[in-house]
Amino acid sequence: MNRLLLAATALACACLMPSPTRAAAGGALVLPWGEWLVAFGTAAQAVLAPLLTALVTGMIARSAPMLAYVVSKAAVEGMVRRVTDYALNAVAGAAKGRVLTVPLGSAVIAAAVQRAADQVPGFLVKAAGGLPGIAEKVFRRLALEDRATAANTLAPALAATGLAAT
């Protein structure tokens, strides 16, 4: 039984080998292990390359919304900082680091919103929640006196720019 199995294995190996690699020198059978490894590597590459490409593409597709959120949030925060700094410099009596009164705070918010409406790309305004969203973000950034509220500071600023509070 063992001889039969050994003979069948030898015959199968001899039939699978390309003809130049079949060599029987003194009854020894030469097995082309290197060629088999190269053939296996080529087949593995043909199968694994598309799978790895699909895996990487899937990972990018899953992380793209989070990456877009982080990038847009950073861009919105930078834009709000810039329009706030502009408004603090543009409104008389306002200065960065100074506590603002309610009327002065409203004027700064209105100036910042107007600057955003004039200079900021639409997609960034939309990402910030529109012009009312920008006004709210500027309101939160300002150092306002204690009695300042959204009703007495933010609402007049929105009214001055022609926006209705949402």
What confidence tens digit (pLDDT) does each residue in 50-102 have? 999 999 999 988 888 888 888 889 999 999 999 999 999 999 888 888 889 99
Q: Give the start-end residues of each E strand in the chain.
A: 24-25, 28-29
> What is the three-class DSSP state of 37?
helix
Contact 84, 131 (CB under 8 A): no
Tokens read off for 84:
């706030």
24 or 98, greater pLDDT:
98
CA angle 145, 148, 141 (to 5 degrees): 75
Count the alpha carbons within 13 Å of 126 in the hemisphere toward its beta carbon: 3
Residue 23 or residue 107, greater confidence: 107
> Residue 80 has what pLDDT?
94
Distance CA 67, CA 72 (A): 9
Half-sphere exposure of 62 (CA within 13 A, CB side): 6
Specify the pLDDT at position 8: 58
